[in-house]
Structure 1
Amino acid sequence: MIKRLLLCCFFSFVAIGNVTATEFYTEDFPPYNYLENDELRGIGPKIIKGLAQEAGEDPKITVLPWARAYKYAQEKPDVGIFSIVKTPKREDVFQWVGPIYTVRIGLYTITENKHLYQGTNDENLEKARKVGDIAVQLGGAGEELLTTLKFQNLNKIVNINKALFLLLKGRYDLLETSDTYMAYMAKEEGVSVEVVSEAAFIGQYDMYLAFSKSTPVATVQKWQDALDRIHKRQAAKNPS
């Protein structure tokens, strides 16, 4: 689905319309959004850039630590943030455009400890509640979701890009992340993805572009309409 949407975005025509001074914030979180040789790359930016073309917009995109990006994205009009999960706590904080893609989230352990998580998923989650330390991104959806699930052993980290390295070194018992991120970081660390295993499944979550509440509703609708047109073309080219 992600590949088809990316292709649709890249080959969409630029829509006719006035360009506004919209600013978007995102984070350095590969492979979804990341800087490489000062160029913003990843699944999220590719989709957002294609969506901007469809909407006839040219937003400025700034990369910040997630907690700061999240704060700034609430503070002024014509400001958005991506790629963000629409959680119950966040739903009324922003105006939403999406979903733009979907991720699978789980708790990961080093494979030599996989034998500790051989029960049902509920049983594995209960075991996870009792370990010493679970790494989660500070201010990320995982922190909110696991807190809702009554986890009290969360280690809230800022630099998520070092999380796999520290998991392998035994700094954390478990790491909350997506399968796509885990595969990417294993490659970056020069190790096989098989050195880690999913201990428990948390869920599949849709990722969105979110706008501040002070952004005009018409602006948000313009972006949603652009995304809907892309999805409509995608469906016409790939009927089920």
Structure 2
Amino acid sequence: MTPSKRVSNLPIKALCGLCLLMALLVMTHAGGEPLELELHIPDAPPLTFVDDPRGHGIAGDVAVAAMAKAGYAVKIHVLPWARAQKHVSEEHDYLITPLSRIPTREDRFTWIASIMPMERAFFSLDRRVNSFAQARETYRKIGVGLGSAQEDILRAEGFSDEQIYPLAIGDNPAQLLLMGRIDAWFNGVPESRYIWPKVSKRKLLMSSVGSSAELYLACSRQCSPKIVEDLRGAVEALRKEGEIKRIHDIYLP
């Protein structure tokens, strides 16, 4: 063998060694602790709970169950909702739920799997409406969660900045409605019906359903295809097994 041929073999040997090292690293990871993923949730009962003895709410429990089924460990994070969305969107391989799949968010996230549909309506104490157009003419101030899909929907439907009253985490829209600080509350139907009886016995008027969108388990815009595939399959398996319905019925019998 000539010297030139011996030299040309060196890169091949080095490449083989690198491949072997990478294989050993993968095997070590596979046999060690499961990969931990960040899951961002808001405090939005009954969809997600931050501190409840039953669990993390409908969407929260489905996400945690899917992660466990796919072999991932979970680390729950709670940030103000608008900040959580920005944080997850800009990072890599972070998860978030429940996130409505609406046009203004389509390109900011990787959409893994739908958990449940979400209907939204206007809630008030004295004036029921049947359309967005009627709501624009009727309500002076409408409470919505800051950074929520509700806020985006109202802006898309032509409501003015003066009409939209964004509520930060910690604000209680039901109490603001009782105090007359807002004229109406535009929100998800299950969440509003869950919260209201805990606040007041007064009759709450609900409009016709104004919009409906699927609530998703989503990931950062830059998300590992394997994570997406694993979790999408796990959510669908939970649905086929009836586990999603069972979780739903725990919080909304």
TM range (shorter): 0.7 to 0.9
1:107–1:176 CA contact under 8 A, matched in 2: yes
Deviation per CA, 1:53-99, whole angstroms, max 9, x where unpaired?
21111121111210111111112212011100010111111101121
Moved over 6 A (4+): none
1:113 to 108, 121, 127: 127
AA paired with 2:237? Answer: R
1:29–1:160 CA contact under 8 A, matched in 2: no
Q: TM-score, normalized by length of structure 1?
A: 0.80
Identity among equivalent pairs (%): 26
1:20 to 20, 35, 43: 35
Q: TM-score, normalized by length of structure 2?
A: 0.76
AA paired with 2:77? Answer: T
1:154 to 139, 153, 164: 164
When residues 17 and 98 of structure 1 are mapped into structure 2, their CA distance, relative to the original with a 3 A threshold, is: farther
| More strand by percentage | 1
| 1:171 and 2:178 matched | no
Deviation at 1:18, TM superposition (A): 7.1
| More helix by percentage | 2
1:29–1:161 CA contact under 8 A, matched in 2: no
Deviation at 1:109, TM superposition (A): 0.8
| 1:140 and 2:148 matched | yes
Distance 2:237 2:170 in 1: 34
Deviation at 1:210, TM superposition (A): 0.9
Deviation at 1:221, TM superposition (A): 1.4
| 1:210 and 2:233 matched | no
2:198 — aligned with what? Answer: 188
| Gaps in structure 2 of 5+ consecutive residues | 1-30, 244-253
| 1:56-135 map, 5 Å | 56-110=71-125, 112-114=126-128, 117=129, 121-122=130-131, 125-130=132-137, 131-135=139-143
After superposition, the CA RMSD in angstroms is 2.4
| Gaps in structure 1 of 5+ consecutive residues | 1-15, 236-240
| 1:219 and 2:220 matched | no
Distance 1:104 1:17 in 2: 43
Deviation at 1:224, TM superposition (A): 0.5
2:62–2:235 CA contact under 8 A, matched in 1: no
Q: How many residues align?
A: 211
1:53 — aligned with what? Answer: 68
* Bigger Rg, structure 1 or 2: 2
Secondary structure of 2:66's partner?
helix
2:49–2:57 CA contact under 8 A, matched in 1: yes
AA paired with 1:55? Answer: A
When residues 31 and 160 of structure 1 are mapped into structure 2, their CA distance, relative to the original with a 3 A threshold, is: farther
AA paired with 2:226? Answer: A
1:34 — aligned with what? Answer: 49
When residues 17 and 198 of structure 1 are mapped into structure 2, their CA distance, relative to the original with a 3 A threshold, is: farther
AA paired with 2:233? Answer: D
Distance 1:202 1:169 in 2: 25
1:30–1:42 CA contact under 8 A, matched in 2: yes
